[in-house]
Every structure is written in C-alpha cells, then in structure tokens.
Amino acid sequence: MKITEPTPGAPCWVELGTSDVPTAAVYYRQVFGWQAETDPRPEHGGYTLFSADGARVAAAGPLYAPGQPTAWTVTFATRDIGELAGAVTRAGGSVLVKPRDVFDLGTFAVLADPSGAAFALWQARTFPGAELLNGPGSLGWVELATDDPDAAVSFYAEVFGWTVRSQGSYAQWGLEGADFGGMCTLESRDREDVRPHWLPYFAVASVDGTAARAAESGGMLLMAPTNVPDGPRIAMVRDPQGAVFGIHEAGSEG
C-alpha cells in the first residue's frame, strides 16, 4: 500500500531552500524534467512551484534566515497544526518557526525533533499539498538520519502515532498500513559533517539515467546507483548549491 495523496500524519510536500532559485529551477528541470512557475507577486518572495507533467510536486524558495543551509525540507500534513506543534515540544522537540498563515493556502510551521532534525508541518486550506506522490518525478520516500534511533522511534510514535517495522536491518515508518519512509544512523552516511536530518527521495523511472543527468548537470553523486538488499535501486545526489536528495525506482519503495 502506498500513500498517493496528502494524508494527515504523512509526507505531503517538499520544499527547497536555496540562495539561487532560478539556477535551481534550471538544474531540476535538467534532472527531473520539472516545469517551474514562479509567483510574480512581491509578497511571495520568488516562491517557485515545480510540476511533473502538470502536477505540482515540490517548490523552491529563497533562504530567509542568516546561516540557513541550502537544503530540502520534508513537510508532513496535519489537521491541527497548533496541537501538533504542542505535541512536538511536549515530546522534547522544538519549534523553529511558529505556525503562520500563507495567504489562503494554509498554515505552516517548522520544527525539529530532539536530535535537531528539522521538518515542516502543513495544515491545508485551499492548497492540500503535492498533486502527485510516488509517481515518476515526485516525492516517493522520506528518510530520517539520526544518532539516536531509539529516541527517534519514541518521539515520532508519540507525536504522529507512526508505526515502525523492520525491513531487514532497516526501520520503516508507517501510517495505517502504509509505509512512507525509513530511518538510518548517521554512521551510514559515511560523512563526519552530517547532522540529523530528513532526506527526501524522488521516484524516477530510471535511477541510472537520472543519476547520470544529475552529475552531468553539475551535481555530485554522494552514492552511485546501488541495489539495496531486499529493497529498491537508489542513488544520492548533492545539487550544485549543496542540497542533498535521493532517488529511487518508481514503484519500488517500501
């Protein structure tokens, strides 16, 4: 079972924070074939929506805070953002950006788990989130890299009510029978500079072909296309501005 539409408690959107939105739009068009549409209104700050075959799948916006890294942020849907933000703090997490309205679209907030891994929440009004999930060119999986897996399980189970099951040595997050993400340790990232974080994986028709385009377009392969034991074929990429994302073969998540 896959989650194919925004569902409370599950990933519903993914957003790139970057110092150069137009350049990022060119790169992701080359890699995924995304179409970019930048909102011209000054109050939207250059916010740019990415679409795959006409379906909105992701977005990019400028960096707003000093020291903010160029990175993808995973967003989870909720029916009550105030209550869920409170649950995060009660469970030992922190609120980085308090809930705020985005015009008539909905309300968002940015939070972090006790280890510092940041994520966003979205309570929809007129914009529910991604119009395509788990299809080629869209968000297909999310993965938490953490230095304390036991604490992470306790935190996310308490806050979101997620289930956790093992797929070999890999732990997977689920919601009502649908697994949408996983968890690994920081040591598996094999880089000393890595801090706890959420990583989005985009579903693609060909991991090898997409990885080649990602590198040829100026990105760096952090993990070359690899077959995961009892799992999908994946790769990991750092874009030219430093944001990291994964790719996996569409239909093979979970």
Tens digit of each residue's pLDDT (9 = 90 or more) over 230-253: 789 999 999 999 999 999 998 765
Q: Give me the domains of the chain, ranges plus CATH numbers.
A: 11-124 (3.10.180.10), 139-249 (3.10.180.10)
CA of residue 231 relative to chain centroid, distance: 20
140-183 tens-digit pLDDT: 999 999 999 999 999 999 999 999 998 766 899 999 889 999 99
What pTM did the predictor assign? 0.95
3-state helix, strand, coil in the chain (%, to 5): 20, 45, 35
